[in-house]
Structure 1
Amino acid sequence: MAEVGATGAEIRATRIEKAATLQQRGVNPYAYRWERTHTAAMLQKKYADLASGNAVGDRVSVAGRIMARRVFGKLAFFTLQDESGTIQLYLDKQTISTAMGETAFSDLKQLTDVGDILGAVGTLKRTEKGELSVVVEDYSLLTKALLPLPDKWHGLTDVEKRYRQRYVDLIVNPHVRDTFRKRALITAAIRQYLNEQGFIEIETPVLQSEAGGAEARPFITYHNTLEMPLYLRIATELHLKRLIVGGFEKVFELGRIFRNEGISTKHNPEFTSIEVYQAYADYTDMMALTEAIITTAAQQVLGTLILNYQGETIDLTPPWQRVTMHEIVAKVTGVDFQQFGELEQAKAAAQQVGVSDLDRCDTIGRVLNEVFEQAVEPTLIQPTFVLDYPVEISPLAKPHRHKPGLVERFELFIVGREHANSFSELTDPLDQRQRLEAQAARKAAGDLEAHSVDEDFLTALEHGMPPTGGLGIGIDRLVMLLTDSPSIRDVIAFPLLRPE
């Protein structure tokens, strides 16, 4: 019944036979529960000082997946893995046969495989080779695995297969489990920090009659009973602002966002963001809040503000660099776009510095933004706040109090990627209407990322919204940064993939 050289179908058939053999003997190969006293990590910690060759009579119960089997006649060694780590099982024929009967040891050898989930009871010893082991007296097959794990020498290295079969990826690549543990700790740290600062988390609708809060192409669905088309939200912004109008002064939501756009190492059609809104604050307050949120998460999860990302040392120690979009574009490209009065002049200058795809740029501000995205963004490795964006690409931000044509907005860039976006929020309902109507005109002209006028949101604004600072942080990209993950798919448990 060896699996070496067998096809996948043959291995599966053999394992089904083994499960049937167990059932014929009155053993259920799919148990209901197991009483466990210790995890592998607990045992490794508790008996760290146990010397090689020594044993203790403490009786323990463990459970986990068999990751390796070495069988030598009357002795066998299994490596058992649970969520916390691994522990060796020391399987002696005489000990097991005495406790369980004459066939128990041969059944263990013949009817179990790598990948099976096993429960075992026994005492502790450290072998002469220094391996902490459970000397098994009693065992139970808890789940018979019908499919084998990837070859132990090569592992699961096909990146596409890792994403498609994340469950196998998690089994054979412990660092992947660590990434998702850290993700959970990061989101918990963010929530805890905001709660401590007096913010309240309120959930807003995923299904919306009007998509808004960002320039993005939405997913469209349909409600049968109400007989109406609906959109999956592209942002939580407009509903959270309604809450500010309603009297909440510090609100946030951490949740899933959906955008019907391209897929890359930085983009997934569904992703997680946190949006935070604070009454009586502006974008300078949001800069301080952004630094606090990210450094708190890094310090709590990693214990440091100095981290390595794909070979680059990143220093998260605040304060972070602050520079306007005009300043950083001029610094990197040598072109000051404030000097141009004509659109064609700006486009020609952009082309001279290697920027293409300017067909959709109908204003100098859009040209400036395109130059920034193509030529400047990749150069922003250390944490950098880029401030004061053109008004035409920021329909929900308040006009800059000192700079005509610009708005009070920043984006945070680290390792050449946007990590956060923030405004001094637009509170003038008439100005907001004009901007949304301009966006609706672009939608009517065929812009798939522009949106209609949200009349209910405008009605809310007309009831009066206090001065407000708003902030959005991409959780997936932050997790990428703090776990040294090169792709967004590495930090989303089940990313969307094309059908095979």
Structure 2
Amino acid sequence: MDSYSSFENGMQLNEYQRLRLDKVKKFRELGIDPYPPRFLQRTHSVAEVLQNFEALQKDDHADPPVPGVLVGVSGRLMLKRDKKVVFGDLIEDGNRIQIYLKDAHLEAGEQSLLLFKDSVDLGDIIGVVGKPFITKTGDKTIEVHQWNILSKAINQPPDKHAGLQDTEQRYRQRYVDLISNPEVRDVFVKRSRIISAMRSYLDRQGFLEVETPTLQPLYGGASARPFVTHHNALDQNFYMRIADELYLKRLVAGGFGKVYEICKDFRNEGIDVRHNPEFTMMECYAAYWDYNDVMKLVEEMFAYIAQEVLGTLKVQTRGYEVDFTPPYRRLQLRQAIIDYTGLDYEQYPEQEDLYREVKKLGVDVAPDTVWPKLVDETLKTFVIPKLIQPTFLYDYPEKLSPLAKKKPGVAGTVERFQPFIAGLECGNAFTELNDPVDQRERFLDQKRNQDAGDDEAMQMDLDFINALMYGMPPTGGLGVGIDRLCMLLLDQASIRDVILFPQMRNL
């Protein structure tokens, strides 16, 4: 069995795929490599031709006629109209230009035109050499003198009008999604620009970008279940990081004044429209700041990103017009829950009592849910969906925030805030806890929560406490979910719509 037959049988090709595979063989029989290593005649990108069209184009109607410049471009053929002549649309990197093939213009004449008609299909990647001109209908076009097959597509692209509609297939085969749905490509171009704008803003504020371990001997910095892996050389288990907070604060203790990291975090938890097990976070820490300084940074940074990427501070998202113009509304968390539910959690310091009250409100929680999670679930159920314009909820219960500094004069409360926009949480920030004795007690509280059934509680990290024992200055810290921010700025309903390759169950 030859390699083509083996491929056809092994891949279980359908009729259309077999027809295209036959064209691959036809090219080879003609001595043409349907997958050449390069296109030497390429002189311009499609974007460059479009940008410089007037200088490149030929114009037979000018007096005297303008001969035009011979250009070589390449791209994917996404539209083909076969008559006596051939028109097609060539797309490269999101830019589209029309091509025009006529036997009188082609160097190989009618034979070249017939081969193009018979053997080049939609989805094929081709290179053309020709002269730019404008048709009678005003379309920027390349008059093709020579063409080359660069990659013969065996799969048909989706219908040019309907695109790729099946949501699960879009996530599983993002490459097809990008080929057929130009608006999806735009989302990911803008996602990249959002990250670049964030990095630019932080760099200008004097933050130093650093890298911390993805594999960690202890997981910490957030309340989440980790992924576990085994390190063969060290013969011990490691954890995929759930946050980089504790390592970044080690750096502040070591003398770095302002640090940040944009990285992947991993949490072994549920998947829904707001959560993906692998996600992108930005965390930054600044010595001698507190959570008030960080609030100012967040509203300035979000406004800067919106203006840089979208050109406006008023963004249509999730059915609302959101104004990113600073300053943002500030609302104490305790007061927010009272306003929206009538419940004052400080009146119920015992788990059993608070559980009884939140159940009366209709919060869906199990009887053994620990006190901090009862507050958090009440917040998620009744308050967050109502926070449409950018809002900072601040001053959280100490039990809900094991890494935040206590608020002076307010027992049981820490200096923490979270930004909420259009009913979506998109960050977390503290005045950081730098007292090693207090930090150890918080870790012990987390251990008690873990023993009580909270499988997302933090572990005791003695090395981090040791770092604090060397002295960490007063510090403000922030974590921003990049994926959530992209959902907001780009008006995407699901986190999977802003992640190129989201996790999916095997078929």
**Shorter-chain TM-score range:** over 0.9
How far has the Cα of 1:241 moved from its partner? 0.6
Report the residue type matching 1:454 in the other structure.
D
Q: Would you say the 8 A contact 2:369–2:454 is kept in 1?
A: no
Structure 1 pair 444–329 and aligned structure 2 pair: CA distance change class (3 A) = closer
Q: Give the equivalent residue in structure 2 for 1:65.
A: 76
> Which residue is 2:155 aligned to?
147
Q: Hey, what's the Cα distance between the residues in 2 that align with 1:452 and 1:291?
A: 32
Residues in 2 aligned to 1:255 and 1:298: alpha-carbon distance in whole angstroms? 21
Please tell me whether residue 220 in structure 1 is matched to residue 228 in structure 2.
Answer: yes
Cα shift at 1:270: 0.4
Deviations 1:249-284 (A, max 9, x none): 100100100000000110000000000000111111
Question: Identical aligned pairs, as a percentage?
Answer: 46
Q: Secondary structure at the match of 1:95?
A: coil
Q: Is the 8 A contact 1:53 1:128 kept in 2?
A: no
Report the CA distance between 1:344 and its aligned residue.
4.6
Correspondent of 1:46 among 32, 46, 52: 52
**Matched residue pairs, number?**
490
Residue in 1 that maps onto 2:6:
none
Whether 1:349 and 2:360 are equivalent positions in the alignment is no
Distance 1:22 1:337 in 2: 74
Aligned 8 A contact 2:318 2:488 in 1: no
Equivalence for 1:4: none
Match of 2:42 in 1: 36
Asked whether the equivalents of residues 122 and 135 of structure 1 are also in contact (C-alpha less than 8 Å), the reply is: yes
SS state at 1:61 partner: strand
What amino acid does structure 2 have at the position aligned with 1:305? L
Asked if the contact 1:121–1:137 (Cα under 8 Å) also holds between the matched residues in 2, the reply is yes
Q: State the SS of the aligned residue for 1:57.
A: coil
Q: Which runs of 5+ in 2 are unaligned?
A: 1-11
- Residue aligned with 2:36, SS: coil
Task: Give 1:189-208 correspondences, 5 Å limit.
Answer: 189-208=197-216
SS of 1:30's equivalent in the other structure is coil
1:287 aligns with 2:292: no
Which amino acid in structure 2 is aligned with residue 171 of structure 1?
I
When structure 1 is superposed on structure 2, of 421-430 and 12-21 the one drifting more is 12-21
| 1:394 and 2:404 aligned | no
SS of alignment partner, residue 422 of structure 1 = strand
- State how 1:403-482 maps to structure 2 within 5 Å: 403-482=410-489
Give the one of 165, 168, 179 matched to 1:171.
179
Following superposition, the deviation at residue 333 of structure 1 comes to 1.7
2:242 alignment partner in structure 1: 234
Q: What's 2:143 paired with?
A: 135
TM-score when normalising by structure 1:
0.94
* Other-structure match for 1:107: 115
C-alpha separation in 2, matches of 1:287 and 1:51 = 57
Instruction: Please give the alpha-carbon distance, in whole angstroms, between the structure 1 residues aligned to 2:247 and 2:375.
Output: 30
Q: Indicate if the aligned counterparts of 1:52 and 1:129 stay in contact, CA closer than 8 A.
A: no
Deviations 1:361-399 (A, max 9, x none): 443x54333211111111111110000111111000111
How much does 1:402 deviate? 2.6
- Establish whether residue 86 from structure 1 lines up as the match of residue 96 from structure 2: yes
Verify the 8 A CA contact 1:70 1:77 in the aligned structure 2. Answer: yes
Contact 1:213/1:396 (CA < 8 Å) preserved in 2?
yes
Task: State the AA in 1 paired with 2:38.
Answer: R
Greater displacement, 438-447 / 405-414: 438-447
Answer yes or no: is the 8 Å Cα contact 1:56–1:124 preserved in 2: no
- Cα offset for 1:452? 2.3
Distance 2:232 2:370 in 1: 40
Aligned 8 A contact 1:169 1:176 in 2: yes
RMSD: 2.0
The Cα shift of 1:440 comes to 2.2
Q: Which moved more, 1:57-66 or 1:198-207?
A: 57-66
CA distance in 2, matches of 1:214, 1:495: 22
Q: Specify the code of the residue in structure 2 equivalent to 1:221.
A: T
State the AA in 2 paired with 1:398: K
Cα distance in structure 1, aligned partners of 2:272 and 2:364? 20
- Structure-2 change in CA distance of 1:447 and 1:248 (3 Å): same
Aligned partner of 2:105 in structure 1 is 95
- For 1:385 and 1:263, the matched residues in 2 are separated by 26
The corresponding residue for 1:3 is: none
Question: How far apart, in 1, do the equivalents of 2:311 and 2:289 lie?
Answer: 30
Give the Å deviation of 1:343. 4.8
Partner of 1:368 in structure 2? 375
- Deviation per CA, 1:114-139: give whole Å up to 9, x if none: 01001001112222222211010011
Q: Flag the 1:106–1:341 CA change in 2: closer, same or farther, 3 A.
A: closer
SS for the counterpart of 2:426 is strand
Change (3 A) 1:278 1:335: same
Aligned to 1:21: 26
- Return the offset for 1:177: 1.1
Report deviation, 1:218.
Answer: 0.1
Larger deviation: 448-457 or 378-387? Answer: 448-457
Counterpart in 1 of 2:9? none
- Which amino acid letter does the alignment assign opposite residue 442 of structure 2? R
CA offset digits 1:14-70 (Å, max 9, x no partner): 111111111111111001112433333333333379899967522221110010111
Q: Structure 1, unaligned stretches of length 5 or more?
A: 1-6
8 Å CA contact 1:210–1:230 kept in 2: the answer is yes
| CA pair 366-385 structure 1, distance change in 2 beyond 3 A | same
Paired AA for residue 471 in structure 2: G
CA distance in 2, matches of 1:131, 1:28: 32
SS of match in other structure, 2:70: strand
Name which of structure 1's ranges 281-290 and 100-109 shifts more when overlaid on structure 2. Answer: 100-109
Alpha-carbon offset, residue 436 of structure 1: 0.7
Distance between the aligned counterparts of 2:142 and 2:447, measured in 1?
68
CA deviation after TM superposition for structure 1 residue 111, in Å? 0.9
**SS of equivalent to 1:147:** coil
- The residue type paired with residue 325 of structure 1 is L
Give 1:60's aligned amino acid. V
Q: Which moved more, 1:151-160 or 1:411-420?
A: 151-160
- Whether contact under 8 Å (2:370, 2:454) holds in the other structure is no
- In 1, Cα distance between the equivalents of 2:189 and 2:238? 34
Distance 1:56 1:165 in 2: 44
SS in 2 for 1:413: strand
Preserved CA contact (<8 Å) 2:79 2:122: yes
Partner Cα distance (2:375, 2:60) in 1: 71
Larger mean Cα displacement after TM superposition, 337-346 or 316-325: 337-346
Q: Deviations over 1:137-182 (max 9, x none)?
A: 0110111011111122321011110011000111111111111111
5 Å-filtered alignment, 1:180-329, equals: 180-329=188-337
Kept in 1: contact 2:126–2:147 (CA 8 A): yes
TM-score (norm 2): 0.93
Instruction: Decide whether the 8 Å contact of 1:350 with 1:371 is kept in 2.
Output: yes
